[in-house]
Chain A
Amino acid sequence: MRVLFTSFAHNTHFYTLAPLAWAFRAAGHEVTVASQPSLTDTITQAGLPAVPVGVDHAVQEFEQRQSNRNSEHPEINFAETRPEIVTWDYALGLQSMMTPLMYAKVNDTMVDDLVEFARQWQPDLVIWEPFTYAGAVAARVTGAAHARLLWGPDVQLRARKLFLQRQAEQPVEHRDDPLAEWLTWTLDRYGCTFDEEIVTGQWTIDSTPESTRLPLDQHVVPMRYVPYNGTSVIPDWLREPPKRPRVCLTLGVSAREVLGGDAVSISDLIEATADLDIELVATLDASQRDLLASVPDNTRIVDFVPMHALLPTCSAIIYHGGAGTWSTAMLAGVPHIMLAEQYDTVLKAERIEELGAGLFIRPNTLTAQGLRDMVVRVLEEPSFRAAAERLRQEVLAEPTPGELVPVLERLTAEHRTRPEVPVG
């Protein structure tokens, strides 16, 4: 069969799709990956056939400046569920802002062309990244089956469900659904109508372990997380087993901003653990490295190291909670110290702490001594490692992408609304 994967042009949003795309190819299916032109090289570097569609979006600025900092944007927090906070206005605000400022921006620039491609190529199954509603639209237009593939807890759909609950409580004159409005006029361009399946997908492929999933009463098809974070080269030094407990410190691209404005600098963080009998591996880019006055003896500064190769050698990881690193750390069974505040990372950090697999610290309460104490605790108390190992076993218990292919073939046959196009 023909399987169309699609993600708006953003490398980490695409990476989660790659292993399943490989699995379909290896099973003999035809696979394409459609995104805006700027992702083309990233897709081909993953060994997958790219279909550039539409024109590039310009959403980075909003993403970087606006949606990332929960603390600065108290009304844009997908992870928020407290009923006294998630009022009708709060829930509507999230939909009113995210629809035009994020979803429409990343989808409107590609959806017409994606639909045109799908009409011509006739996919049997469309697998879409959860922001990339264009995938659901293309599937609806062409009669293909379609599913979302998650890269973290499904906070987006949970927020949607809370919104729909609040909406149902409003007088009919006050109802307002920007996401449905936008998808309605988008589908209408191709003679199709909107229903909630366009938002949920016909089913959801979930690569997170069960104990971190949100109970949303959806059709979930679990998949083992297989790390892919771009092309990688394994450095020499990783071949040697560590002589002392190895701790990874990695901060996402926006971390310099997050921490730079606060009292605690990256330099402070590295100095905080300088006297511990550990090997600190810190991934810093050139501009972050320039901020360091000196590098302690127990610290190795690297520009980039593939997390899937590094983390199995580590005893702890200090990071901001980004999707790929979070999943890779769970797969490696390494305890987490999470400096979380963006998007879904607070929720993930709270859950990791509840599960005993690590500790959560809000960046605004971070001190150098506090971080040092956490590192010592996570290394000395075996319960963290044990809980992290339980999470690792959960990840490993799910079917691999390869094992999932026959399951998805069956679901496709059940959901596709037009006959399969014979291949070859």
Chain B
Amino acid sequence: MKNLTDSELGGMMQLVRGTQWYVGMFGDPYALVLRAQTDDPHPLYEQARAQGPLHQNALGSWVCTGYELAAQILADPRFDTRTADGGTAAQHVLALDDAFLGLDRTAHDRLRERTAPLLGAEAVERHRAVAERVAGDLLDGLGAEFDLAADFATPLAVGVLAELLAVPAADRPGFAEHCTALGNALDAEVCPQQLVPARALITALERLRGQFAGRPDGGLLGEVAATGGDLAAEDALATAMLLAATGVQTASSLVCNAALALLADPARRDAVRAEPGLLPQVIDETLRSDPPVHLCALVAREDVEIAGQHIAADSQLVVLLAAANRDPEVFADPERFDPHRAEAAPLQGGAHHELVAPLAKLQAEVALRLLLDRLPGLRQDGPIVRRRRAPVSRAIARVPVTAA
């Protein structure tokens, strides 16, 4: 992609976008999900669900909406990020290998094993103090009115990552700019972006790789590399790139979505302020009801018979995580936000998500606690503007809040 001219890259993306739009015109639910012109995708997920737990859409992608089947597919080694010969499915728009989004299950298993002592569910506790400091400093600098996403959640995620990677002070403005440009990385894999942000994404990946490669001992990079073995240096770089390309937006979205769920219901907000032990449940329910990653696009490495369907090798299979997490066969009253649910754990996406999720959850917990404690009157102060062409992240571009 780096070598494509603007005309080639832009033309390819426009052709895919035009084709997706065209197919959506006839009501194909997944094509409309990819069109991503609406704020609430759930009516489209319900239309997709009505076509069965696994159906093939008009663009040739298999679409899974059922919770049980989705869980099975996410664990099935016959489905992975790349085809058996390392390629992508025909529907895959941008192959972001610089972000290591093409790493296969084997590589992810190795990465997870290496990074468990650093980023695993228990290990992330060691980063709590850093997250508290970054979040606290941010709030110190904010007035009573600010943007929850642009002024708080995203700088928090970027700041925590910069600390973990020991990014030198002089590099931080550039690092923040690059991380922000990566906010659409997961979206760009399935939904063509406008040329300018797509180019910014590709450039940011290249620059960040350069930065990390130039400082192989910096913080977490050095710690991963020190775990030894043949691929230690490569895995360290992969960890850093995945945290930047997917972890930042995931953490930012999780903070925003969980905070908004609380702010939307003053009684719930006050209950959680009184009992902070509820926070992990609030965050888990956010991951179910309004997740930071809405879908996960896999590809069949071989011919697969599953759920009564024949999936040919190299076919794309898209797990609509946000739809599966509202499967009425698993979740009672699935539209209701209920932190006390105990039906099933929310599905959270592909292998890269497992790497970044614990850190994102930690940040959400720290952020919500600080927001509730320090800004008890915080409320939404204007409409949420969500990004377009963001069928995976459904990222918030703007959401004004006020503590006045």
Contact = CB atoms under 8 A, between A and B. Distances in A.
Interface of A: 66, 73-76, 89, 92-93, 96-101, 104, 108, 171, 173-174, 176, 178, 181-182, 185-186, 188-189
B72 interface: no
Given A66-B22, A108-B11, 14 more contacts: A76-B25, A96-B14, A99-B14, A100-B11, A100-B15, A100-B17, A101-B19, A104-B11, A178-B14, A181-B195, A185-B6, A185-B11, A186-B7, A188-B6
Contacts of B398: 171, 173
Given A100-B14, A181-B14, A93 B21 contact: yes
Given A73-B25, A185-B6, A188-B6, A104 B14 contact: yes
Contacts of B52: none
B17 A96 contact: yes
B315 to A, nearest CB: 24
Interface string B14-55: 110111011001000000000001000000000000000000
Describe A's contact surface by its main secondary structure. helix
Give 9 nearest A-B pairs by CB, closest first.
Answer: A100-B18, A100-B14, A185-B6, A173-B397, A100-B15, A75-B25, A97-B18, A96-B21, A171-B385
A173 B11 contact: no
Contacts of B37: 89, 92
A182 B385 contact: no
Interface residues of B, number: 22
B180 to A, nearest CB: 13
A171 B399 CA distance: 12
B78 interface: no
Contacts of B194: 176, 181
B10 interface: yes
B209 interface: no
B388 interface: yes
B387 interface: yes
Contacts of A97: 18, 21-22, 25
A173 B388 contact: yes
A96 B385 contact: no
Interface string B351-379: 00000000000000000000000000000
A174 B11 contact: no
Nearest to B16: A100
Contacts of B388: 173-174, 176
Contacts of A92: 37
B14 A182 contact: yes
A129 B19 CA distance: 25
Q: Which of A76, A108, A173 has the most CB of B within 10 A?
A: A173
A178 B17 contact: yes
Contacts of B22: 66, 97, 101
